[in-house]
Amino acid sequence: MSLSSIENRLVARLRPGLSGNPVMFLGLLALCSAYIQGPLTKIFDFPGALAEMDHFGLHPAPFFAVGVIVFELSMSALILSGVYRWAAASALAAFTLAATFLAFRFWELPPGMERAMATNGFFEHIGLAGAFVLVALYDLRERASVGRGGQ
């Protein structure tokens, strides 16, 4: 039995349960969780949000703090609702990539634990950005497929 036939049989068995809307929604919710938790934390600790903006040199801090809160929550809502999912996922991918290069400049740190943690954070966020790109591509393909009559 070949690996591809094993994979095809496995996919045929798992597809009905894994392709349903609840599983898709939970996966997207997990992907967006940091983009929901972060803004909520900023809302409930706005002085902390201002300090974070100051730390990263984003001025005026209130403008950037409110902008990040609104952006992250609205893009997450679009992704979870399926409305312009491809655009919201693309926007969060770009935002995450930019924030990663701002917040995790591991190459500027001396060797040690802090550099290792920043390196891990950098590549984890690169992975998040990649996941959002995949969500955007998947959504665009699904829309194209529906536009062709589902074929």
Look at residue 15 and tell me if it is in a domain: no
**Please, how many CA atoms are within 13 Å of residue 15, restricted to the half-sphere of its CB?**
6
Look at residue 93 and tell me if it is in a domain: yes
Look at residue 13 and tell me if it is in a domain: no
Q: Residue range 133-147: average pLDDT?
A: 91
Number of other residues whose CB lies within 10 A of the CB of residue 146: 10
Is pLDDT of 151 > 60?
A: no
C-alpha 85: how far from chain center: 12
pTM of the model: 0.85
Minimum mean pLDDT range among 2-6, 38-42, 44-48, 61-65: 2-6
| pLDDT tens digits for range 63-84 | 999 999 999 999 999 999 999 9
| pLDDT tens digits for range 79-109 | 999 999 999 999 999 999 999 999 999 999 9
Query: Phi, psi at residue 82, to the nearest 5°?
Result: 85, 0
Look at residue 69 and tell me if it is in a domain: yes
Look at residue 64 and tell me if it is in a domain: yes
d(CA 8, CA 59): 53
Q: What tokens appear for 89 in the block?
A: 């996922």
Look at residue 85 and tell me if it is in a domain: yes
Domain span at 46: 21-147
Q: What is the model's pLDDT at position 73?
A: 98
Look at residue 3 and tell me if it is in a domain: no
d(CA 92, CA 113): 29
Of 64 and 9, which is predicted with more confidence?
64
Look at residue 134 and tell me if it is in a domain: yes
Closest listed residue to residue 91, CA positions, set 21, 43, 32, 22:
32
Total domains in the fold of the chain: 1
